[in-house]
Amino acid sequence: MTAGNSKNQKIGIKIACSQNLIINKMDIQIKSYVLIICLILFSTDFYAQIGINNSNPHTSAVLDIQSTTKGLLIPRMTFGQRNAIVSPALGLTIYQTNLFPGFYYYTGSSWRRIDIASNIMTDNNQDTKINTELNPDEDKIRFVLPNAEILRMENNQNGIFRIHSSSSLNNLYGGISSGLSNLTGYNNTALGDSVLMLATNSNNTGLGHLALSALTTGSDNTAIGLNALKMFLPEVTIPRWVIMH
């Protein structure tokens, strides 16, 4: 072996050793990073607590977030998107953005709105309710059946109390079967059992048991009293008044 060959072999050995040393160093660094990441990931299992902007999370909390400039934002979605959640967990919480917006949680069988104040009376699935504060300080009582406001109680612009229909048809019915058949008629008022039960037209007023109960397509009629115009025969549209006692 010549002196030149021996020198080349020594250089080759040094290069190989240097490469192995670099690889070993990189391997140690990678292992160190993996170890640090594992410690971070599994530290929550050891302590069962996470602190955000908080080095000392409270012992009663799994997650303890502290901030004086920002808040916690949970998922926001519409009524339809909320109801499309498959098998929601008990206690699952979302913010609903339409149809009576607010925070809702899942009870195990239905979604229930979280109300800070006792300003709403509702059934389990939130589609039938009495709401006294839909908007801040509005001083109105709203009756919802189901998922649609049907009646409102409030003062008018002069401070006089009134009860009125929330429907664009402006009908008001009170009594068993009153207004039963009407789908398109407007400006009707019926108070009493079966009043305007068959009527489908507009501008009729009946007060009293069975008043105008046989009327079907007539309009602009007023009947007040027990059985007033009960046996209504001619279906005409001329104004008609009957008062019975």
Check pLDDT > 70 for residue 245.
no
Per-residue pLDDT reduced to its tens digit, 208-235: 999 999 999 889 999 999 888 877 545 5
Task: Identify the pLDDT of residue 131.
Answer: 83
Task: Mention every residue, 6+ apart, whose C-beta is less than 8 A from residue 127.
Answer: 144, 146, 147
Per-residue pLDDT reduced to its tens digit, 91-136: 999 999 987 788 999 999 988 888 655 567 777 677 888 888 777 7
C-alpha closest to that of 225 among 216, 238, 234, 212: 212
Distance (Å, whole) CA 169 – CA 59:
59
Check pLDDT > 80 for residue 236.
no
Residue with tokens 């009043």: 195
Strand extents, DSSP E, the chain? 50-52, 63-65, 76-77, 93-96, 102-106, 111-113, 120-122, 129-131, 141-144, 149-155, 161-165, 172-174, 189-191, 205-207, 221-224, 240-243
- The b-or-e profile of 208-240 (16+ CB within 10 A means b, else e) is bbbbbbbbeebbbbbbbbeebbbebeeeeeeeb
Task: Identify the pLDDT of residue 139.
Answer: 86
How many CA atoms lie less than 13 Å away from 20 in the CB half-sphere?
Answer: 6
C-alpha closest to that of 119 among 139, 92, 95, 99: 139
Neighbours of 49 (CB within 10 A): 17
Distance (Å, whole) CA 218 – CA 236:
5
Distance (Å, whole) CA 98 – CA 7:
82
Residue ranges of domains in the chain: 3-65, 76-165, 168-245
Check pLDDT > 90 for residue 2.
no
Check pLDDT > 90 for residue 189.
yes
Per-residue pLDDT reduced to its tens digit, 112-124: 888 655 567 777 6
pTM metric for this prediction: 0.48
Distance (Å, whole) CA 54 – CA 56:
5
Confidence of residue 21 (pLDDT cuts 50, 70, 90): very low
Name the token pair of 56.
């000392």
Q: Strands 161-165, 120-122: parallel, antiparallel or unpaired by DSSP?
A: unpaired
Mean predicted confidence (pLDDT) in 149-166: 86
Neighbours of 118 (CB within 10 A): 8
SS3 at position 152 = strand
